[in-house]
Amino acid sequence: MCYAIPGKVVEIRGDIGVVDFGNGVRREVILAMVDAKVGDYVLVHAGYAIRVLDERSALEMLQAIEEAISLAGEEGGQSL
């Protein structure tokens, strides 16, 4: 299964951005496929930003991911 995770762009150097995924997790991401700027939320798949998101959509996605992880943990640690 493939999935993409939203994160906030905190730094840009050319086509590479540093994206904050929360909980202290920051990664370099290729921004060449989107027109993102510092402060934007992007949807990231396999190290590439594939879409710019509005903040509300990004936060809703992050909340849904956290809920799914929490539910998986309550059901005996099965992974998604």
Percent of the chain clearing pLDDT 90 (strictly above): 74
> Is residue 79 situated within a structural domain?
no
Three-state DSSP at 23 gives: coil
- Structural domain containing residue 47: 5-74
Q: Token pair of 26, please?
A: 């920051």
- The strand pair at 48-53 and 41-45 is best described as antiparallel
Look at the chain and report how many structural domains it folds into. Answer: 1
Q: What is the pLDDT of residues 52-61, one digit of tens each?
A: 999 999 999 9
pLDDT class for 20, splitting at 50, 70, 90? very high
Residue type, 59: L
pLDDT over 60 (residue 78): no
> Is residue 15 situated within a structural domain?
yes
CATH number, residue 17: 2.30.30.140
> Is residue 34 situated within a structural domain?
yes
Q: Residue 53 region, left (φ>0) first, then alpha (ψ -120 to 50), else beta?
A: beta
Task: Report pLDDT for 76.
Answer: 61
